Amino acid sequence: MPPITKETALEYHKLNGVPGKISIIPSKPLDTQTDLGLAYTPGVSYPVLEIARDPDLAYEYTDKGNLVAVISNGTAILGLGDRGALASKPVMEGKSVLFKKFADVDAIDIEIDTHDPEKIIQVVELIGKTFGGINLEDIKSPECFYIERMLQSKMDIPVFHDDQHGTAIILGAALINALEISGKKIKEIKIVFSGAGAAALASANHFVKIGVPRENIWMCDIKGLVYKGRKEEMFPEKESFAQGEQAATLAEAFEGADMFVGLSVANIVTPEMIKRMRHAPVIFAMANPDPEIKFDLAKQARPDAMIGTGRSDFPNQVNNVLGFPFIFRGALDVRASAINDQMKLAASNALSALAKEPVPANVLKAYGLTHLEFGPDYIVPKPLDTRVCLWEAPAVAKAAMESGVSRIKIDLEKYEQQLKDRLKIE
């Protein structure tokens, strides 16, 4: 992969004289007078009256059922911090094109210029009828927890903060497979987190739902261990993972750990720290673009480790694109009213299972590889594997139907072929 520089990135975003990364195109013919009459007046009045009579018919006569709003206020943009709502637009456009590319979900970015959680909630609730789902993005914690929770309680469509749950779902799959490879038992492992923001807290909660005892999770932030009675930089979501009653450093937390999850900043973990971990440790250092410990450095210090990062140039990339397009695809296709825990667990299990399947030649070619199989260097699927949608979206749809949040039932056997046809997958 050629290096991504400031110049190449800026040129890409205005390529061919077209600013940005998304556009809107009609899905129906508009070539004749009749077409215009059907698309607008007078023909448009008929679906208006039908939807007024039965709001669910919006799923039949409009794009609502395939439309997601990607919403941010720009307070936590990637690793760049609070740069304002407008500055978040390139990221939200990028998220929108990934929705379309990977799962044929139409998505539109909406930037809300306020730091006030109540105003964000009000805006999203008021425009919510337009969409089949809401993807919240790059909103700082702890406000993001409150905003998502309130919107979920007020709206009858999925509201999903991907910074939290997307990372958690992919890490959940990695955890399941790492335990299988190492032979360790989920009730006995110790997990250390560096970072206690949205992604870390959601991942820790997801691990608990998978089966990790809450008391086996040790969370550290910029102040060190999150312990009971600590006063600095605490809020309820973080408090729920408090361990012990006295301060400790991240290095001290590593003693006897089986898994490290880094969702913090670069180069804060040393080889000496990971040498304190138990045999066959799992090290997911996901600070971007530079991880908490460099891949080569970690491998040299612990040759027995399973190592993952957020980067595409090393094994075991944890990338949210393995989650959100297909989670929304499955949720939209059964007209789900929410994305619940059962659907998130189903997504993790689907990704875990797919990683154990033989890797097809087109995936190997896309990554310049000659061989890839389930093991320490391949515990989650590759983002460019087109099979991800065929495994994950049906699993999410099935969980939605079984948990009672779907508005309609679909035939899952036919659904897989419909996805292949929709995405032009051979």
The verdict on whether 40 is a catalytic residue reads: yes
Of the residues 21, 64, 89, 95, only one is catalytic, namely 95
Of the residues 14, 40, 46, 185, only one is catalytic, namely 40
Instruction: Count other Cβ atoms within 10 Å, centred on residue 208.
Output: 15
Task: Tally DSSP H helices, then E strands, for the chain.
Answer: 18, 10
Closest C-alpha to 258, from 203, 300, 306: 306
Measured distance CA(168)–CA(69) in Å, rounded = 21
What is the sign, positive or negative, of the torsion defined by CA atoms of 322, 138, 72, 117?
positive
DSSP string, 45-82: HHHHHHHHH-GGGHHHHSGGGGEEEEEE-SSSBTTTB-
User: Would you state the structure tokens that stand for residue 420, as one six-digit string?
Assistant: 């292949």
C-alpha separations of 269 from 244, 262, 345, 420 in Å: 22, 9, 30, 43
The verdict on whether 367 is a catalytic residue reads: no
Measured distance CA(24)–CA(257) in Å, rounded = 50
C-alpha separations of 132 from 156, 267, 292 in Å: 9, 41, 37
The answer to whether 175 and 207 have CB atoms below 8 angstroms apart is yes
DSSP string, 222-272: TTEE--TT--TT--HHHHTT--SSS---HHHHTTT-SEEEE-S-TT---HH
- Residues belonging to the active site: 40, 95
